[in-house]
Amino acid sequence: MASRINKYLSEVGYCSRRAADKLIEEGKVTINDQIPEMGTKVKEGDQVKVEGKRIEKSTKQKNIYLAFNKPVGVVCTTDKRREPNNIIEYIKFPTRIFPIGRLDKPSEGLIFLTNDGDIVNKILRAKNNHEKEYIVVVNRQINKDFIKRMSNGVEILDTITKSCFVKQLGAKKFKIILTQGLNRQIRRMCESLGYRVKSLKRVRIMNIKLDVPTGKYREFTKEELSKLNGLLDDSSKTFD
């Protein structure tokens, strides 16, 4: 059965569909030594290459799901040539994996890595309202007005952020639970209200909590994966 090229690269565990789209746009992918258009389908017997290297499906591939505590300074990219402090080189996992979503370079905490492209696409769809929880420290004292304004939505990037849960934890510290994934969202929200983020740590994604030391990772438990898949059951179907 034919699959679109981005879906094919996702299914074989090479990268997410989003990353595949970028590779295709950059002309780094070929099908039978021809650069394909976006949406071209891979048929049985076609030879797919990325940057000249043959990519094939493996019937023995085991799905990998990791919970990693990303340190500050590590970059969530698989591009080893452009970014020496990339997450893949840091972890050095023995088989090919890629991050689900990202945490910016100055941030730390929980991020998932996997070779399962389908779960990537479901989690990344913001409209699925998947919760992500953060602990944030800012540069000056916060008050009830700050908490209320953060909770009700802040104007950034030509939009108003969705209402969210925010709780004060200390003079300059708060917890925030988002269901959006706008670029540098929390930092931009704070800046919009006149605050600067000093530290930002993600401590939960959906049902999985951060429970490993900085720079370490662990595999999902069977129970975690089962519950995660249950939470994703209502996710929008990805396009073929």
CA distances from residue 213 to 103, 210, 230 in whole angstroms, order as listed: 17, 9, 27
How many angstroms separate the CA atoms of 171 and 197, rounded?
14
Most confident of 20-24, 152-156, 180-184: 152-156
- Predicted local confidence at residue 237, as pLDDT: 44
- Predicted local confidence at residue 236, as pLDDT: 52
In terms of DSSP H, where are the helices of the chain?
5-11, 17-25, 87-91, 117-124, 144-152, 185-192, 222-232
* Mean pLDDT, residues 147-174 taken together: 96
Q: For the chain, give every residue range classified as CATH 3.30.70.1560.
A: 131-205
* The domain over range 65-125+212-231 is classified in CATH as 3.40.50.970: no
Buried residues in 178-202 as b, exposed as e (16+ CB within 10 A): beeeeebbbbbbbeeeebebeebbb
Q: For the chain, give every residue range classified as CATH 3.10.290.10.
A: 3-55
CA distances from residue 186 to 31, 104, 160, 164, 208 in whole angstroms, order as listed: 41, 11, 13, 11, 20
User: pLDDT tens, 86-96?
Assistant: 999 999 998 88
- Predicted local confidence at residue 235, as pLDDT: 57
Residue type, 31: I
CB 185 within 8 A of CB 178: yes
DSSP-derived 3-state class of residue 188: helix
Q: Is the pTM of this model over 0.85?
A: no
As a CATH number, domain 3-55 is 3.10.290.10
Mean pLDDT rounded to a whole number for the chain? 89
Whether the pLDDT of residue 219 is over 90: the answer is yes
- Out of 3.30.310.50, 3.40.430.10, 3.30.70.1560, 2.130.10.10, the CATH code matching 131-205 is 3.30.70.1560
User: pLDDT tens, 16-49?
Assistant: 787 888 889 999 999 999 999 888 989 888 899 9
Residue 153: what are its φ and ψ, rounded to 5°? 115, 135
Whether the pLDDT of residue 84 is over 80: the answer is yes
- Predicted local confidence at residue 180, as pLDDT: 87
Which one, of 1, 27, 9, lies nearest residue 121 by Cα?
9
Which residue out of 104, 116, 158, 211 is catalytically annotated? Answer: 104
User: Is-catalytic flag, 104?
Assistant: yes
Task: Give me 66's structure tokens.
Answer: 């990791």
- Predicted local confidence at residue 136, as pLDDT: 98
For the sheet with 48-50, list strands across it: 29-31, 48-50, 53-55
Q: For the chain, give every residue range classified as CATH 3.30.70.580.
A: 65-125+212-231
